[in-house]
């Protein structure tokens, strides 16, 4: 049989003397101050006498511990092991290259515009190059600190940087949804730069500027070229054909660069298939159609790929450099000249001629609201409406007999 007693510690809460003992009977006496000093058991088990700390301060709990010793006949306790907490599930690791491949395939499957898909490809190429420089192979190696460095290295305008940040968030959100990463490294405190949400001003070329640009094409020097695909010469007419194609169709520089002659039917140029059915065509005059046909006889069915790779980035970069050379010859501009402004010029010419906004939106591949926001100043009906409002506002006001002097 085991006996029990409490052995008081030096820091006993009830201030009982250090190393003194009390029994369960003692503590039932009136006025006894309770404490939480440990209860010991003493006795002989399997021929071994021992005084053992039960590790409990309540008598019933201490007796329960001692009962286990008595049952096993040994001064040890083998408590039931606590079930181990399950390890949190970790996502299967995936290589960055594989994640990008799946992401781009998903984007392609949504049938997004080719220009938008090119932007996704450009972004993923830059992300791959960044990871390569840091020696990363797996997707989950990219941390929030890496994202800060990646984002800070973008040398883009405010609006372009804001859009690129949206693409960055979309990619890692895609990966998180597929449980390839445990958390999104693109944290909420990464903000787009000031001015990212400001509506961009559309700046078409004026008729005078357009005339100066086309005249500058005639002053371009002739340049010889050669490559593995052949050899030939560059003239100002090459660039003039390209610019005229952009002005008369509203196509982007990339679309003209890869233009195929099978898109021309008579005087109509196929632009795109509408999402709600039907195709959209624009019209080109006979003389421009004839120029393109003559060019195709010399250069092939894709008349604007000349002696260079047919990769989109290469073709676009080449034409951008040629057009920028023309801009330098054309003199000063109020707004910085860019190839994309020819697309705005296409819209401006149509709106000034009274083409309905809805039709211009169809030709540009935009919605009517977007066209009104960006090109409203060139919509005659808008100015007529404003003139009518102003006329009515001042119609009943008295005429001034004397015009006051200013200053």
Answer yes or no: are the C-beta atoms of 390 and 383 closer than 8 Å. Answer: no
% the chain with pLDDT above 90 = 41
Quick check: 209 pLDDT over 70? yes
- The model's confidence at residue 251, banded by pLDDT at 50, 70 and 90, is very high
Confidence tier at 313 by pLDDT (50, 70, 90): confident
User: What distances in angstroms separate CA 296 from CA 257, 304, 402, one per listed residue?
Assistant: 13, 9, 68
If one compares 174 and 276, the residue with the highest pLDDT of the two is: 174
pLDDT band at 379 (very low <50, low <70, confident <90, very high): confident
Given a cut of 80, is residue 380 above it in pLDDT?
no
| Span of 66-80, 91-105, 199-213, 323-337 with lowest mean pLDDT | 66-80
Residues 389-407: tens digit of each pLDDT:
777 777 776 665 555 565 5
Please count the other Cβ atoms lying within 10 Å of the Cβ belonging to residue 136. Answer: 18
Helices 341-352 and 368-375 meet at what angle, rounded to 10? Answer: 100
pLDDT band with cut points at 50, 70 and 90 for residue 82: very low
Return d(Cα 235, Cα 246) in angstroms, integer: 18
Which comes out higher in pLDDT, residue 45 or 208? 208
Domain ranges of the chain: 3-72, 96-177, 207-387
Look at residue 34 in the predicted model and tell me its pLDDT: 86
Segment among 214-218, 227-231, 372-376 with least mean pLDDT: 227-231
pLDDT at 399: 61
pLDDT at 79: 45
With beta carbons less than 8 A apart as the criterion, state whether 150 and 190 touch: no
From the number of C-beta atoms within 10 Å of its C-beta (0-12, 13-18, 19+), residue 289 rates as middle
In whole angstroms, give the CA distance from residue 267 to residue 292: 11
Across the chain, mean pLDDT equals 84
Q: CA 196, CA 295: separation in Å to the nearest integer?
A: 41
Which range of 40-54, 76-90, 302-316, 325-339 scores highest in mean pLDDT? It is: 325-339
Asked whether residue 91 carries a pLDDT value surpassing 70, the answer given is no
- Alpha-carbon distance 27 to 166, whole Å? 72
Q: Mean pLDDT: which of 56-70, 77-91, 254-268 is highest?
A: 254-268
**CATH fold of 96-177:** DNA polymerase; domain 1 (1.10.150)
pLDDT score at 80: 46
**pLDDT tens track for 13-72:** 888 888 899 988 888 888 888 898 999 988 888 778 888 888 888 988 888 888 888 877
**In CATH, what class is 207-387?**
mainly alpha
pLDDT per position as a tens digit, 320-346: 999 999 999 999 998 889 999 999 999
Q: Which residue has the higher pLDDT, 172 or 405?
A: 172
Note the pLDDT of residue 405: 60
231 vs 223: CA distance, rounded Å: 11
Q: Residue 81: what pLDDT? A: 46
Q: What SS3 string covers the chain?
A: CCEEEEECCCCCCCCCCCCCEECCCHHHCCCCCCCCCCEEEEEEECCEEEEEECCCCCHHHHHHHHHHHHHHCCCCCCCCCCCCCCCCCCCCCCEHHHHHHHHHHHHHHCCCCHHHHHHHHHHHHHHHHHHHHCCCCEHHHCCHHHHHHHHHCCCCCHHHHHHHHHHHHHHHHHHHHCCCCCCCCCCCCCCCCCCCCCCCCCCCCCHHHHHHHHHHHHCCCCEEEEECCEEEEECHHHHHHHHHHHHHHCCCHHHHHCCCHHHEECCEEEEEECCCCCEEEEECCHHHHHHHHHHHHHHCCCCCCCCCCCCHHHHHHHHHHHHHHHHHHHCCCCCCCCCCHHHHHHHHHHHHCCCCHHHHHHHHCCCHHHHHHHHHHHCHHHHHHHHHHHHHHHCCCCCCCCCCCCC
CA distances from 113 to 85, 116, 156, 175, 241 (A): 49, 5, 22, 22, 25
Residues 348-368 pLDDT 10s: 999 888 888 889 988 888 888
Fold match between domain 96-177 and domain 207-387: no
């Amino acid at each position: 049989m085991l006996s029990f007693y409490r052995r008081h510690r030096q820091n006993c809460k009830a201030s009982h003397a250090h190393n003194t003992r009390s029994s369960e009977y003692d503590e039932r006496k009136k006025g006894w101050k309770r404490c939480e000093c440990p209860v010991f058991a003493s006795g002989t088990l399997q021929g071994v006498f021992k005084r053992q700390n039960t590790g409990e301060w309540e008598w019933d709990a201490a007796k329960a511990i001692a009962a286990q010793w008595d049952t096993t006949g040994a001064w040890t306790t083998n408590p039931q092991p606590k079930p181990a907490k399950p390890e949190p599930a970790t996502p299967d690791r995936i290589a960055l290259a594989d994640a990008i491949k799946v992401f781009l395939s998903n984007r392609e499957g949504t049938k997004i515009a080719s220009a938008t898909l090119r932007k996704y490809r450009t972004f993923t190429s830059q992300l791959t190059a960044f990871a390569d420089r840091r020696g990363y192979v797996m997707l989950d190696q990219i941390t929030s600190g890496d994202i800060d460095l990646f984002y800070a290295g973008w040398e883009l305008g405010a609006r372009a940087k804001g859009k690129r940040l949206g693409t960055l968030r979309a990619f890692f959100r895609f990966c998180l949804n597929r449980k390839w990463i445990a958390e999104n490294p693109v944290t909420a405190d990464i903000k787009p730069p000031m001015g990212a949400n400001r509506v961009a001003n559309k700046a078409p070329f004026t008729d005078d500027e357009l005339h100066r640009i086309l005249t500058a094409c005639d002053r371009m020097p002739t340049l010889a070229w050669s490559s593995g695909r052949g050899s030939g010469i560059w003239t100002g007419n090459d660039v003039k054909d390209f610019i005229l194609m952009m002005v008369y169709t509203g196509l982007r520089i990339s679309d003209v660069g890869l233009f195929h002659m099978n898109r021309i039917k008579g005087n109509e140029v196929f632009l795109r298939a509408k999402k709600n059915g039907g195709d959209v065509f624009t019209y080109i005059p006979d003389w421009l159609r004839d120029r393109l046909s003559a060019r195709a006889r010399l250069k092939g069915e894709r008349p604007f790929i000349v002696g260079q790779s047919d990769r989109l980035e290469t073709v676009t970069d080449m034409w951008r450099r040629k057009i920028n050379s023309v801009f330098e010859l054309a003199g000063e501009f109020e707004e910085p000249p860019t190839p994309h402004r020819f697309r705005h010029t296409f819209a401006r010419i149509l709106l000034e001629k009274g083409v309905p906004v809805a039709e211009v939106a169809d030709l540009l591949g935009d919605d009517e609201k977007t066209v009104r926001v960006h090109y409203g100043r060139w919509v005659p009906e808008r100015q007529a409406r404003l003139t009518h409002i102003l006329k009515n506002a001042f119609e009943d006001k008295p005429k001034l007999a004397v015009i006051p002097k200013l200053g």
